Amino acid sequence: MPAKAIVLVALLALIGPRTALASSPATIKVDLRQAPQAIFHADLSFPAKPGPMRLAYPRWIPGDHAPAGPIENLTGLVFSANGATLPWTRDPKELDQFEVVIPKGATRLDIHLDFLAVPAIARAINPASTAATDTLAVLRWHTVLLYPMGVDIAQYKIEPSVLLPDGWQFACALPAQSSAPNPSFAPVTLEKLVDSPLLTGRYFATYQLTTKLPIRHTVHIAADDPADLVVSTEQQQALARLALEAHAMYGSWPFDHYDYLINISGKLRERPSIGGQEHGESSDDTGGPGVFTTATGKESVGDTLSHEYSHSWNGKYRRPAGEKVHDYQQPYDDSLNWVYEGLTTYLGHVLAARAGFWSLEEFYDEWANEAAAMNCRPGRVWRNLQDSATSLPTLMRAGAGWTSWRRSADYYPEGALLWLDVDVTIRKLTANRRSLDDFLHLFLAKQPGRDPTIKAYDFAELVADLEKVTPNNWALFLHTRLESHASDAPLGGLTQSGWRVTYSSQENAFEKADEGADTVSADFSIGANIKADGVVQDVIWGGPSFKAGLGPGMKILTVNDRTFSLATFRAALDETAATETRSAAATQSVRLLISNGGPTRVIAVSYQGGQRYPRLERTGQDTDYLAEIAHARSPNTSLNTSPNANPGTTSNAASDAHTGNAK
């Protein structure tokens, strides 16, 4: 034994190894090697004192806005101290809290747990919260975390590390201190850990975006099929422009690097579209096969990536006071989600256009679809926009069926229409000299340059910042729209821009993408939404199908005496439209043979007008503020992407790129 080691052993004997261990930080080690079997193992260790100790499994998850912690999949719990197993009890009223008694002489509590990364049947919220396939996984730390009750998640630090399956690469917004297969990270606060998911997979690609900004933007993709790792040069350029346009729009940076973490798997998402969840320095997006390589994915790629990116400003850096909490067990006050999600939905649409993901025509189509959908919400007469935000956790649990009466997460699309109204109103009041961008520079940039400190906001601050842009009694403006029980959606942004919603027999591309190949949306004709197998997904409250007695869950067997298919259904709608040869003889109704338990029966839906899908139509010569809003702001149009893009690579380039970011 070398002399130095002997001295160390003597020193340890003197101060006692337990003292040394007790002062070391909490640790969490996650073993993902059984991820393909949907099993994540975790070992945690916390400094502890003798006596009762209470631990909690995170319940209220940031970004979910709801008590969505998947406690039902927490299994295999073992608490121990000094190698001896400890008995534990669960709080019979707070089912995500556990109590153990730390024995005398012990200075740490060790915990083993197994998280089952399988979907919960009843979990409508973020159904992809358990992402694991044969070739990729997403580690969302809150799923494998127990933490001591009473600590402040913004202060309490924990040291994370992960064990990956052989040959898998990874990316994470936290700077890694070691590479695959055993990445480790410096101690971080619980808040930062839960905000920093880790993407890992066998097939992995990394694209470094060149934006001429002093902030590194990187796209990481793990896909079940290597063909899905390809992001075209045009899409990379749009992502680079997104950073420039966001900078021009918001005027600040809440991060010093940003990582898009994207998993693409047919197991996790069937259609070529993408959904995501926001984090301060990264996204966590789940796409279906073909999302980057087919035209169908275009709407959601532009919208979702712009939306989640914008959340770094609105939602993460600036956050409603009711969602700025000290632990994960306190319920949120969700009443400002028409700002957190509604404003971000608006920003996502605008940036999708400004960055060039969408054409101006597609921007118009998106607003047509959103305005028409929110005009089909008779439930507004009892539940206003404000209540759709306030009751978010209950609405997130709702399935399909009578959505137009119950309402849904309408604070997204109706919130976006509200913010369009705000933007256009500012422009009209100031002869187009000011816009929502001026408000965002005040509201989303509370100090110049980079500001990494979370700052809570409330209604009063929001109104005060709007008044600074242009006086307009904004409190009244907002209250009127938030509390409206009118049958129509707040469409002032469209009408003041010289647009109105009208209908044609042709779907626009975005509506087709939303609808998918397996459903037909007849919301705006007979007032129903039907799946390819004939099952009625939903019926518009008060519409022609509602009046005829159709309801969600019924199955249509025949339509006008022909076997039901999406084609025969569309043809039956067409037959109700007057044409040159059929003006007088157009069918007056659509006859449906339905099964709903009991004997089959015929329902006749009284309707004329053919297929109807929304689009925008000019109403006059008013300034087209929609076109003004969609116009790119950033003067820096000279963009290129780095030649370092390495789709399909099997090297460690991804993790290397990441470890290079030790800031």
Q: How far is CA 590 from CA 504, 563, 570, 578, 613, in A?
A: 19, 13, 11, 14, 18
Shortest distance, CB of residue 308 to Zn ion, whole angstroms? Answer: 7
Compute the half-sphere exposure of residue 42: CA atoms within 13 Å on the CB side of its CA: 26
Minimum separation from the CB atom of position 539 to Zn ion (A): 28
DSSP-derived letter for residue 203 is: S
Contact 286, 265 (CB under 8 A): yes
CB atoms within 10 A of CB 224: 20
- Which is closer to Zn ion, CB of 110 or CB of 341? 341
- Token pair for 658: 């990441």
Nearer to Zn ion, 114 or 285 (CB): 285
With beta carbons less than 8 A apart as the criterion, state whether 350 and 419 touch.
no
Nearest CA-CA partner of 612 in 468, 536, 502: 502
Nearest to Zn ion of 312, 560 (CB atom): 312
Q: CB within 8 A of 252, min separation 6: which ones?
A: 313, 317, 444, 445, 446, 447, 448, 449, 450, 451
Binding mask 403-432 for Zn ion (x = CB under 5 A): ------------------------------
Which residue lies nearer to Zn ion by CB, 46 or 250? 250
**Residue with Cβ nearer Zn ion (324 or 500):** 324
Nearest distance from C-beta of residue 38 to Zn ion, angstroms: 26
Least distance from Zn ion to the Cβ atom of residue 272, Å: 21
Q: Retrieve residue 414's tokens.
A: 């109706």
Q: How many CA atoms lie within 13 A of 51 on its CB side?
A: 1
Cα-Cα-Cα-Cα dihedral sign, residues 393, 399, 400, 403? negative
Q: How far is the CB of 345 from Zn ion (least distance, A)?
A: 7
DSSP class of 141? G
Do the beta carbons of residue 171 and residue 655 sit within 8 Å? yes
Measure the CA–CA gap between 520 and 440, rounded to whole angstroms: 38
* Strand pairing class (74-81; 108-116): antiparallel
Rounded CA separation 337/593 (Å): 42
Q: Which residue has the tokens 């996204």?
A: 283
Whether the link from the prior residue into 183 is cis, omega within 30° of 0, is no
- Specify whether the CB–CB gap between 521 and 394 falls below 8 A: no
- Write down the least CB distance from residue 635 to Zn ion, Å: 29
Task: Please give the residue whose beta carbon sits closest to Zn ion in the complex.
Answer: 341
| 3 state SS for 238-261 | HHHHHHHHHHHHHCCECCCEEEEE
CA 383 centroid distance within chain? 24
In angstroms, give the least distance from the CB of 284 to Zn ion.
Answer: 12
Residue 132, both tokens: 């694991």
Of 346 and 613, the one with the shorter C-beta distance to Zn ion is: 346
CB of 223 to Zn ion, least distance (A): 23
Q: How far apart are CA 280 and CA 310, in angstroms?
A: 10
In this structure, are residues 41 and 31 in contact, taking their beta carbons and an 8 Å threshold?
Answer: yes
- Closest to Zn ion by CB, 341 or 365: 341
Choose between 341 and 387: whose C-beta lies nearer to Zn ion.
341
Residue closest to 244 by CA, chosen among 633, 619, 534: 633
By CB under 5 A, how many residues form the interface with Zn ion?
1
Distance CA 394, CA 417 (A): 23
- Among residue numbers 223 through 282, which ones bind Zn ion (CB under 5 A)? none
Nearest approach in angstroms of CB 305 to Zn ion is: 12
CA distance 307 to 366: 14
Least distance from Zn ion to the Cβ atom of residue 278, Å: 6
From the CB of 416, what's the least distance to Zn ion, in Å?
11
* CA atoms of 124 and 61, how far apart (whole Å): 14
Nearer to Zn ion, 235 or 306 (CB): 306
Nearer to Zn ion, 60 or 98 (CB): 60
Strand partners, 157: 189
Query: Are residues 277 and 283 in contact, defined by beta-carbon separation less than 8 angstroms?
Result: yes
Smaller CB separation from Zn ion, 169 or 304: 304
The nearer residue to Zn ion, 341 or 366, going by C-beta atoms, is: 341
Quote the least distance from Cβ 478 to Zn ion, whole Å: 20
Q: Nearest CA to 586 among 570, 603, 569, 607?
A: 607
Length of the chain: 663
Q: With respect to Zn ion, which residue has the nearer C-beta, 110 or 323?
A: 323
Strand 216-223 and strand 257-264: the pairing is parallel
Least distance CB 276 / Zn ion (angstroms):
8
Residues 320-359 close enough to bind Zn ion by CB under 5 A: 341
> C-beta of 633: minimal distance to Zn ion in Å?
22
Residue 191 or residue 284: which is nearer to Zn ion going by CB?
A: 284
Q: How far is the CB of 413 from Zn ion (least distance, A)?
A: 12
Residue whose CB is less far from Zn ion, 159 or 341: 341
Cα atoms in the 13 Å half-sphere on the side-chain side of 128: 22
Q: Which residues bind Zn ion (CB under 5 A)?
A: 341
